[in-house]
Amino acid sequence: MTWLPKSVVCLSYYDRFRFRSDALAALFLSLQIFPLAIAIALLPEYLRCMEFPVLPSRGF
């Protein structure tokens, strides 16, 4: 008997129905995480703009 990694052994039980459910879960997760990732990516630019606000009372 030869040794096989557990991931290879588990692939023998992996069928198209499990693949479909995993693919749908990955799609839904990516649709939820993508807007959050965009917001985090844009946050430093937003904070840099808010660092020195132009106030009308300063006469600028």
Q: Which pLDDT score is estimated for 23?
A: 95
Q: What global pTM score does this model have?
A: 0.53
Q: What is the pLDDT of residues 3-59, one digit of tens each?
A: 999 988 888 888 999 999 999 999 999 999 999 999 888 887 777 776 665 655 655
Exposure class string for 32-48: b at 16+ Cβ within 10 A, else e: eeeeeeeeeeeeeeeee
Three-class secondary structure assignment of 27-48? HHHHHHHHHHHHHHHHHHHHHH
Per domain, the residue ranges of the chain are 15-50
CA distances from 42 to 1, 20, 35, 50 (A): 54, 33, 11, 13
